[in-house]
Structure 1
């Protein structure tokens, strides 16, 4: 089976980021800097280095501010989906699903941060695992035992065949990182308006088409100012990298 090249992605960046106040009082959460760079730019630089050319970003809270920030970039090509009313994680993606074509795409939360492990680039590993004949959704999962900097809960257990089962009591072995590959067919018969992407995750599980890949590097779950301080201290002490050092394209236009 050949490894598919995934050239589109969706980033959910519309949320209010209330738990990260006061940082989000003056900027949307995806713009909060970590290691000197906005969280969303870390993800975009990884996507560019992997080879994704087109990314859709949904906007709501401080939408103009985030649009202007991202407008400084010259890669990847960005499409913005504005939400006058928040549509939640499923509805927001569904609204702009047409921008993804009819092929599998990467999807992330706007605050996703990870460091690659010994197995290499997480996006490449996920694309290598993707099997269109049996998957509608593939999640990157972090062992709860590895969540030492920020809090972790056991969202899922991984079966021997790679399928995953959600733990309704959050006592599973792995936490979902929000990094995923999605096939648009998963949205068939999805409701109009706001709904949670969790509904589609459960749908894929019920259909036997939900799979997971264990991440072997660090993943940082930044919800609170304490989480942010912990991750910043870790990166400063270890020299950890959450962006490629030499992305395929420069991450932003030069500033005057």
Structure 2
């Protein structure tokens, strides 16, 4: 399966990145000379995505100006200037701008990876192949703690041998971190509540029905949540020579 449409969640306030984000949106913070959202767009393009919805709120004009330069994919803006919708509400609003009958990727604008092996399919192509809407509500990229940079040390899920995910509990086997990329069918959110809500509602529902699956990420995963995290992230990017 090749997934040709995606949404990038990019509307957050970036409060922990202050004072940098007082004058710019977090997705435009540069790591290794490149805005974080460009690492995300590069990955989507490499996987064959053609249409990308990006939601905007904080310093929305800067985001729109930057995205207007993107020529490799069609960019559609989901405008949250009037109300920030949180991860679930923002996703629900943005997905309405995509084909409801075709699968979609969802990515966070400030989470990315470097160092994928050249002799294997890229992470998002592998995720697309993994996603089976008959068996799954969502399939997500996951990564082990030892291949993260800037993470808080907490595990999100345990991954079974068949890839099925459950919430992590102390002592559970195969702990993994959600790597900020997933695949779903847009109509999954048709019953979403009005207004802002957290996407974890859908994660928990999928777990309850045995329909949340994961696949392991190749490479080194980075999250840059504070100004102090920039230097370690740039060191990793330099070590791997940039994105794939």
Normalising by the residue count of structure 1, what TM-score does the alignment of the two structures yield?
0.88
Q: Distance in 2 between matches of 1:219 and 1:147?
A: 5
The residue that corresponds to 2:127 in the other structure is 126
Map 1:50-129 to 2 at 5 A.
Answer: 50-83=47-80, 84-101=82-99, 102-118=101-117, 119-129=120-130
Counting matched residue pairs gives 239
Q: Distance in 1 between matches of 2:29 and 2:180?
A: 18
Q: Aligned-pair distance for 1:61?
A: 0.5
User: Secondary structure of the equivalent of 1:96?
Assistant: helix
User: Secondary structure of the equivalent of 2:97?
Assistant: helix
After superposition, the Cα gap between the structure-2 partners of 1:149 and 1:104, relative to the gap in structure 1 and judged at 3 Å, is same
Preserved CA contact (<8 Å) 2:3 2:103:
yes
Q: Distance in 1 between matches of 2:48 and 2:149?
A: 31
The residue that corresponds to 2:236 in the other structure is 234
Q: Aligned-pair distance for 1:10?
A: 0.2
Output the aligned Cα RMSD.
Answer: 1.8
| Structure 1: gaps (5+ residues) | 245-256
The residue that corresponds to 1:199 in the other structure is 201
Preserved CA contact (<8 Å) 2:139 2:184:
yes
User: Secondary structure of the equivalent of 1:99?
Assistant: coil
Superimposed CA distance per residue, residues 26-51 of structure 1 (whole angstroms, 9 cap, x where no aligned partner):
11000001111111111112212221
Preserved CA contact (<8 Å) 2:135 2:211:
yes
2:45 to 41, 44, 48: 48
Q: Distance in 1 between matches of 2:135 and 2:147?
A: 29
Preserved CA contact (<8 Å) 2:115 2:240:
no
| Structure 2: gaps (5+ residues) | none
Normalising by the residue count of structure 2, what TM-score does the alignment of the two structures yield?
0.92
